[in-house]
Each structure stands twice: as C-alpha cells, then as structure tokens.
C-alpha cells in the first residue's frame, strides 16, 4: 500500500508533509507518472510559472498550468512513446530540502515551501534545475492529496528547453 494512503485520519504535520513530498520526488525520478497523478485531488493544479513572483497563475503566462485534464494529457504524451522528447527523456535525480510550513486557515491543509535541486542527465550532459517549490497538501480520509504544486524555477524568465519529464 502507498505510504501516503497509510496516513489516514492524521492531523497535518510538517513531518508527514515532508515524507509525502519526498515520496512524490521519488515517483517523478522513477518516471512513475501514473502513481504520481494518483496523488492529486481532482481539482489539483500543477503550475510552473514564468513570473517568479506571481500568485495569479490563471491570469499570467506559465510553462505549465495543469488541471486534471491537462495533467492526463501531459502524462499521455510522456508515456505514449510518440513524443520524441519523452522517448529519449533525461534521467533525473532531485533533492528537496529547506521545508518551511506556511500558515493556512484550513486545519486539513498544510502548505510547505521548499527548495529543489534537480539534475537531469541526457546524452552525456548534466543539466541543473533549481527551484523554489510550494506544495499545498490536503489531508483526507483517503490519505494526503496534492491540492497545488508550484515550481518556481530560479531562471524562469530564460528559455526552457523541452524537458521530457516533470519538474
């Protein structure tokens, strides 16, 4: 059973949120995208904004602004074998640290800011992606679910090459 699903009926805590975020990172590095997608609430949104300081993601330009439908389409592209960037996708290893809880008004939600360093390896080249992350996690009877994930790349205003993987 998925560890995230074992955490039923538990009050939100930074420790449980941190373990969930590490598990999410592991799923992404292993390209277990369908298991990653199962962590999401139906209303959840995955965002990679261009403007590092924006909070109005719906009204600004983003590299990614994926609701459930767009996540499903992105996963289809990444796993179908038809996308050139996904067929020859980079291998990734990410480290996430500097976990800081952000106060919320909802006692079933925890929001966590953290830092991510992701190294991608493709065709004998290593590429570093550094980002500030914000995870908003909802503790439900079915376990912890992603309500929102925001990946703020430190170089977000530079051009971003086709990744072939999720940040």
Residues 126, 23: contact at Cβ < 8 Å? no
Q: Which residues of 70-79 are buried (b: 16+ CB within 10 A; e: fewer)?
A: ebeebbeebe
Quote the pLDDT of residue 95: 97
User: What is the reported pLDDT for 113?
Assistant: 98
Q: Which residues of the chain have pLDDT under 70?
A: 1-10, 81-88, 162
CA angle (91 as vertex; 1, 19 as ends), nearest 5: 35
Q: What is the pTM of this model?
A: 0.88
CATH architecture of 3-153: Roll (3.10)
In this prediction, residue 140 carries a pLDDT of 93
């Amino acid at each position: 059973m998925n560890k995230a699903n074992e955490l039923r009926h538990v009050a939100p805590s930074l420790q449980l949120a941190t373990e969930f975020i590490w598990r999410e990172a592991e799923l992404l590095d292993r390209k277990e995208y369908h298991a990653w997608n199962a962590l999401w609430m139906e209303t959840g949104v995955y965002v990679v904004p261009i403007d590092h300081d924006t909070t109005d993601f719906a009204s600004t330009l983003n590299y990614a602004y994926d609701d459930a439908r767009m996540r499903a389409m992105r996963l289809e592209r990444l796993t179908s074998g038809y996308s050139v960037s996904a067929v020859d996708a980079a291998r990734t290893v990410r480290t996430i640290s500097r976990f800081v809880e952000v106060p919320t008004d909802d006692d079933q939600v925890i929001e966590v800011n953290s830092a991510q360093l992701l190294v991608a390896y493709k065709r004998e080249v290593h590429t570093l992606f550094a980002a500030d992350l914000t995870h908003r996690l909802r503790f439900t009877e079915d376990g912890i679910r992603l309500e929102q994930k925001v990946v703020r790349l430190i170089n977000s205003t530079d051009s971003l090459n086709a990744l072939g993987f999720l940040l």
